[in-house]
Structure formats: C-alpha cells, structure tokens
C-alpha cells in the first residue's frame, strides 16, 4: 500500500467513516505519485503552455497543436522506466502501446514514434540484457502495429545499469472536425473496449511510485498485445464520429480513468465493476478497478448503435460499464453492492519535500593530451556512435511518411500528405549536464532539441518534456527536479516554444539516485519537405561553420572519455543566438547541401559524422572557425551552444574546408592535427 497514514486519515475525515477495501485501492492507485503528481504539480504549473497555435495544452491525455488551419498535430511523451527495469521486453512494448493510445484519445492517426533510451554500459551483462530486450520490445510492438519508429537517442552511463530510462514519444495527425466533440452530459455511457481485464499490471502506478528493491513482482508489469493495439488504432479512425470522448486505460487503470473523466466534465459516475469484461473470471473488484491491462480504451457516447456496429466490425470486445450522472460522486458497484462511494473532489493532497543544493566537482586544470588519441577516444564513444544496430531493428518507413530517417539528419521529418507540409521532431537529453547544474542542464537540453529541429529545416512550435530523477525524499533530488523545471520554463519562454505536455518519473534509483535525466522533445513545422537538410556533404562541397567556440568542456564527452571526469559547468545558453540561427536557416532554406548542429563531442564529432554519413572525406582547418579559446583541444571538443555546420556550393558563416577524397583531415593552418580514412571512422563510430 503506497498510501501514507496521513493520506488515509485525510480521506477518512472527508468521508466521516472508514474506507472500504475498494476505496483504499482506488486512492492507492489514483493518489500515487505516478498518477497524481502530488509532489511535483506545483512546480509544473510554472511551465508556459499557451500560444495562438496551441488548441489544447497539458492536463488531458494528448495536446493539440494547429499546424495549418483545420489540421492538428498531437504529440506526447511517456516513461516506462520501472517496468523496463523488471521486465524490459514487456516494459518497453507497453510503453509504446500506451503512448499510442494517448494519441488515439483525440481521434488522431499515429504517424511516428521516437524512443529516448538510457542504459548502463554494454560490457555489463545486466545492462546488456536490459538494452537488448528493451529494443526488442519496442521493435516487436511498433513494427506490428504499423507505426514507424523514426527517431530518438540512446545514451550509456553506469547510473542506468539497473534503472534504465525508457521514454516513448508518439506523433499523431488529425483534422479539426475529426476530434471527438466532447460535451459529455449526464446519461452518457461509459464503455470499456479492448482486451479483457486480467491480473497483469496490478497496482502498476503504485509500483512506479517507489524505489526498486530487486524483489518486484512481475505481475506489476503490463503485458503487450500489439495485434489488439492495431485493431484499436483502426477502430478509432472510424469510431471518432460516434463518440464524445476517448480516454486511455493506462496508469491507474479504471480508478484513474473514472476519476479524471468525472473531474474534467464536472459530473458524477456510476460504474458496475462486475460488468467489465475480463480474461479471468476469478478477479475481484479491487483487481478490476486497479489493474492496468493493456490495449484498452474508454469510449463515452450517447450513440451506442453507431459505436456497436464498428466494435463488431473490428471484432473488439466491449462492456457497457455505467453512465455519467449529475452530482460529483464516483459510485462503484460489485454484484449489486456499493463498494465505493467517494466525492470526485477528494484529490491527493500536495506533498512538499525538503530541498538542498549541492556542489558538483569543479573542473580541474587539464593537461593537453595527445590529440590523435583523444579524438579516437571520443569518436569511439558509444554515446557518439551511430546506433544502426538499434534503429535497423525498427521499421521506420512504414506509412511512407518518413523523409529524414534515423541517422540521416538532426531530427526526424515526416510528411503530412498535405501539399509539401511536414513536421520535424527531436528529443534530446544530457544526464551529465543535468547532474552538474540541473537548471542550466535542462536549458541546454531544450536548446539542443530546438536547434536540431531548426537545422533539419523546421520552425519550432511546441515541446513536451520528461523529467526522470531519484526519490524526492532526498533533498538533493527534489532540488534537482525543481531546478530542471525552472530551466525548461526559462528556455520555453525565451524561445517562445510552449510546453504542451510531459511526464515526471520519480524513484529512479538503485542503491543511489540516477543522474537527473531531462528529455525535451521539440516539434516544428516544415513548410516544404523537399528542402529538409541531411547531415551530409558531397565531393567538392565547401564547408561552413556558424557560432563561437568557447572554453566549455564542463560535462563534455571529451572530459569523460579522455580524463574519466564528470565535472565543471555545462555550456552557457544564449537564446538570442539560437533564435538567430532559426532566421539564418530559414533564409538559406533550399540553398545548401546539408547541415548539422555542433553538440556532443564538439567539432571533432560533428565533422566526422558528416564524413561517415556521406562516405566522403574532407580537409578542414578548424582554426578558421570563430573561437574564444587558445587551446586546440578545447576548439575541437568544446560543446558550446549556438553552433552549426552547413555544406554546399555556398553557405552562411565561415568557410573552413572542402569535402572530397577518402580521408578526414583536421588541421590548424599548415599543421595536421588528425587524419583518418572514412572507412576507419565508420568502424570506429558504429555501435
């Protein structure tokens, strides 16, 4: 039982009596941190979420962003960290299934998935077991339901050996007139559709709201059924005109779905739990109420005849469980007996944890290492490597919308089949930055995702975020969370990109908390998908750089790979420079060959990535790039923001070299700093 004695006493005081077993179970799920955000919601309110193009913001299962008049994009991020630590295959697969169902709630067609994955280092057998099965779970589910996995990011760090961070983002498309109309009234029916309830995922949200101990029950992890998931996708495309509202049966099961729907429409609900179709006849009311069986939705309708025809057509089982009523109470019955009767206003009390900052390690004086060895070490990092061994397991072409595929550019680009209109979307994270300075680290993540969308050819419109930390009972962890929110809020306001949804995951620790992991996914509009920018160059192309390199190696890949340190201060953020890059890339749209931003690993990695992607070498004078550093190793490895590389016959910025040949050569004036064949680089930089 996750409820505290204080919370139970608050509920008893409101009711004026003892709680029934079913009421205790309902509050245990719905008041869990995973569902109620009881210790985080006061900070999350500070995130800016409004803009003229935001039709529906945070607070429901999925937001709506107007991409062009009458056409909406929806996108949402979900974490499935705890389940993936215990049962990585089903944990990851059900994370994908759950985020797809969130998108279905607005009647949208899912058109793309992104996965942001954080694992332990792969020379650890346990970390390798988790990583292999997480990827297999994502692949099996996404491929079978026909939604392409078009992008993401994979990070390796010992902190994630036993506590992986597994995040899935889904993008959907829907016309304004296809969104379920809402307007739920007393008398409307509450219908559960999809798989029969079983004992999988029992108390899953309460399980996700505590620290892992190594003795978890696999029954708390949901089990995926991608074939039913595909039927639900197809069903929703036809059924959306028959229903007033759609709700995912995910975290908290029926308990949370019932309470949230009643709250949203300021109505009461009367539900017969014994009417829910089950796969196990021996289930009792607590199990039916709190189980998180996958591949289920709630449809609210006043047109049962229309809906029933489509449910029969797609062979989807359903139950008429109850109806909305006047008043503000949730009444649950089991075989004619009232087993719960609670006011909808009985919400989880807010929790305030103590917070305390800390002083991370300062950057020591660094001797300048042999450059060739240092560059090889950084280029061979698993964090830098191309992740073909992962994304080749995903079907990223299904649906024929994928313009920029995994590994081809800085962001995924999907066409919308409306003229040449498309969207660019990218999720980024850097746990080292977030550990060293949570607020600045979160801002770095935001501008990085923003810049990736800009470089690919998009105009950023909206963001979703996921904040993953350890136990909030630890003062330093709660401080990390708060500071991360403030960093995201600062970046969102400064870049005028509203945060339209997100997810918080707490209690991610195994013997110690993980490094705080903040993921920001930015989505942008692409006016013409024929003018997107790939991370490539061609023989004879000139190479240009924009932005200034500073002595900013705090938290860098260089510092970790060469010196074994996580120390210093993350790079500074200049929002004006980032906005100016958007203006420049808009002006040069269609006039350049390719582009990439300069981030993890600095120039050393960015130029090498272009060479490997293109199969063509280059000779580059890195000392021609604008810099404010006197050290050539910092010039190569600094991760300063506000920088990008473009290629082509002409381009913005400073010309630093020419593409061609079979070798990549870095020089400073007449001095050769590094030379490797493209084939050597390809082997070095492939996971």
Kind of pairing, strands 149-156 and 109-119?
parallel
Tokens of 339: 């087993």
The overall longest dimension of the chain from CA atoms, in Å, is: 88
CA–CA dist 93, 464 (Å, integer): 21
Q: What is the DSSP letter of 238?
A: H
Expressed in percent and rounded to 5, the helix, strand and coil fractions of the chain are 35, 25, 40
* 4 pLDDT higher than 90: no
Least confident window among 1-5, 61-65, 557-561, 660-664: 1-5
Band of pLDDT at residue 219, cut at 50, 70 and 90: low
CATH 3.90.650.10 domain residues, the chain: 1-31+180-344, 361-387+533-687
CA–CA dist 321, 335 (Å, integer): 12
CA–CA dist 518, 186 (Å, integer): 41
Phi–psi pair at 415, nearest 5 degrees: -85, 150
* 359 pLDDT higher than 90: yes
What is the pLDDT at residue 348? 84
CB 276 within 8 A of CB 288: yes
Name the average pLDDT for the chain.
Answer: 94
Catalytic residue among 80, 82, 118, 162: 80
User: What whole-number percentage of the chain has pLDDT above 70?
Assistant: 97
Catalytic residue among 30, 34, 118, 162: 34
What is the pLDDT at residue 218? 58
**531 is known as an active-site residue:** no
* 207 pLDDT higher than 70: no
What is the pLDDT at residue 413? 97
The residues, ordered by sequence, that sit 6+ positions from 209 with a Cβ below 8 Å of its Cβ are 2, 32, 33, 34, 506, 507
Tokens 């305390």 sit at which residue? 356
The CATH classification of domain 1-31+180-344, taken from the options 3.90.650.10, 3.40.640.10, 3.30.390.30, 3.40.50.2300: 3.90.650.10
User: What pLDDT, in 10s, does the model give residues 116-156?
Assistant: 999 999 999 999 999 999 999 999 998 899 999 999 999 99
Band of pLDDT at residue 29, cut at 50, 70 and 90: confident
Band of pLDDT at residue 250, cut at 50, 70 and 90: confident
Band of pLDDT at residue 215, cut at 50, 70 and 90: low
CB 194 within 8 A of CB 232: yes
Helix (H, G, I), strand (E, B) or coil at 378: helix
What is the pLDDT at residue 119? 98
Q: What is the 3-state secondary structure (H, E, C) of 110-175?
A: EEEEEEEEEECCCCCHHHHHHHHHHHHHHHHHHHHHCCCEEEEEEEECHHHCCCCEEEEEEEEEEE
What is the pLDDT at residue 33? 86
User: What pLDDT, in 10s, does the model give residues 87-98?
Assistant: 999 999 999 999
**34 is known as an active-site residue:** yes
User: What pLDDT, in 10s, does the model give residues 461-506?
Assistant: 999 999 999 999 999 999 999 999 999 999 999 999 999 999 999 9
CATH of domain 361-387+533-687: 3.90.650.10
User: What pLDDT, in 10s, does the model give residues 154-187?
Assistant: 999 999 999 999 999 999 999 999 999 999 999 9
Buried b (16+ CB within 10 A) or exposed e, 146-155: ebbbbbbbbb
CA–CA dist 464, 92 (Å, integer): 19
Phi-psi region of 295 (alpha: psi -120 to 50; beta: other; left: phi over 0): left
What is the pLDDT at residue 575? 98
């Amino acid at each position: 039982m996750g409820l505290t004695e204080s919370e139970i006493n608050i509920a008893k005081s409101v009711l004026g009596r003892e709680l029934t077993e079913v009421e205790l179970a309902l509050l245990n799920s719905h008041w869990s941190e995973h569902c109620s955000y009881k210790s985080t919601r006061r900070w999350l309110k500070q995130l800016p979420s409004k803009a003229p193009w935001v039709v529906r913001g945070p607070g429901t299962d999925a937001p709506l962003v107007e991409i062009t008049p009458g056409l909406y994009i929806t996108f949402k991020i979900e974490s499935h960290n705890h389940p993936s630590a215990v049962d990585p295959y089903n944990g990851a697969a059900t994370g994908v299934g759950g985020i797809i169902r969130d998108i279905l709630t607005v009647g949208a067609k899912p058109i793309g998935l992104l996965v942001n994955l954080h694992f332990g280092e792969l020379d650890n057998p346990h970390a390798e077991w988790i990583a292999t099965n997480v990827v297999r779970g994502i692949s099996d589910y996404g491929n079978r339901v026909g939604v392409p996995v078009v992008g993401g990011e994979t990070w390796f760090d010992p902190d994630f050996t036993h506590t992986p961070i597994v995040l899935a983002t889904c993008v959907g498309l829907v016309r304004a007139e296809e969104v379920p109309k809402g307007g739920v009234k007393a008398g409307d029916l509450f219908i559960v559709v999809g798989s029969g309830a079983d004992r999988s995922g029992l108390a899953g949200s309460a399980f996700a709201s505590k620290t892992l101990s190594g003795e978890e029950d696999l029954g708390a992890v949901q089990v995926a059924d991608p074939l039913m998931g595909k039927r639900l996708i197809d069903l929703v495309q036809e059924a959306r005109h028959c229903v007033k509202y759609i709700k995912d049966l995910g975290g908290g099961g029926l308990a949370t779905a019932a309470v949230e729907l009643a709250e949203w429409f300021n109505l009461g609900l009367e539900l017969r739990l014994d009417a829910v179709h089950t796969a196990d006849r021996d289930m009792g009311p607590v199990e039916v109420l709190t189980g998180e069986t996958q591949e289920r939705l709630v449809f609210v309708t006043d047109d049962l005849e229309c809906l029933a025809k489509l449910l029969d057509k797609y062979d989807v089982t359903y139950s008429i469980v109850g109806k909305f009523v006047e008043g503000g109470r949730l009444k649950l019955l089991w075989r004619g007996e009232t087993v719960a009767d609670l006011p909808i206003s009985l919400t989880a009390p807010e929790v305030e944890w103590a917070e305390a900052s800390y002083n991370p390690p300062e950057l020591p004086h660094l001797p300048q290492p042999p450059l060739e060895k240092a560059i090889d070490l950084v280029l061979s990092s698993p964090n830098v490597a191309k992740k073909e061994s992962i994304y080749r397991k995903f079907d990223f072409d299904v649906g024929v919308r994928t313009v920029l595929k995994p590994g081809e550019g800085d962001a995924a680009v999907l066409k919308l089949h409306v003229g040449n209109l498309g969207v660019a979307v990218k999720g980024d994270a850097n746990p080292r930055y977030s550990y060293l300075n949570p607020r600045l680290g979160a801002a770095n993540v935001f501008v990085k995702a923003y810049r990736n969308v800009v470089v690919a050819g998009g105009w950023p419109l909206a963001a979703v975020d996921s904040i993953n930390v350890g136990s909030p009972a630890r003062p330093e962890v709660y401080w990390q969370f708060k500071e991360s929110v403030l960093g995201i809020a600062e970046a969102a306001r400064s870049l005028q990109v509203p945060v339209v949804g997100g997810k918080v995951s707490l209690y991610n620790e195994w013997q110690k908390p993980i490094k705080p992991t903040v993921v920001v996914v930015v989505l942008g509009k692409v006016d013409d998908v024929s003018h997107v920018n790939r991370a490539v160059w061609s023989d004879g192309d000139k190479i240009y750089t924009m932005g200034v390199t500073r002595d900013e190696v705090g938290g860098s890949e260089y510092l970790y790979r060469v010196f074994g340190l996580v120390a210093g201060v993350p790079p500074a953020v200049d929002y004006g420079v980032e906005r100016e890059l958007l203006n420049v890339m808009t002006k040069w749209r269609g006039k350049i060959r390719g582009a990439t931003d300069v981030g993890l690993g600095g120039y050393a990695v960015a130029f090498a990535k272009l060479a490997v992607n293109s199969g063509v070498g280059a000779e580059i004078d890195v000392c021609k790039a604008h810099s404010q550093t006197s050290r050539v190793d910092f010039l190569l490895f600094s991760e300063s923001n506000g920088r990008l590389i473009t290629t082509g016959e002409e381009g913005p910025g400073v010309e630093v070299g020419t593409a061609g040949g079979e070798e990549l050569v870095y020089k400073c004036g007449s001095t050769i700093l590094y030379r490797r064949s493209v084939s050597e680089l390809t082997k070095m930089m492939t996971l």
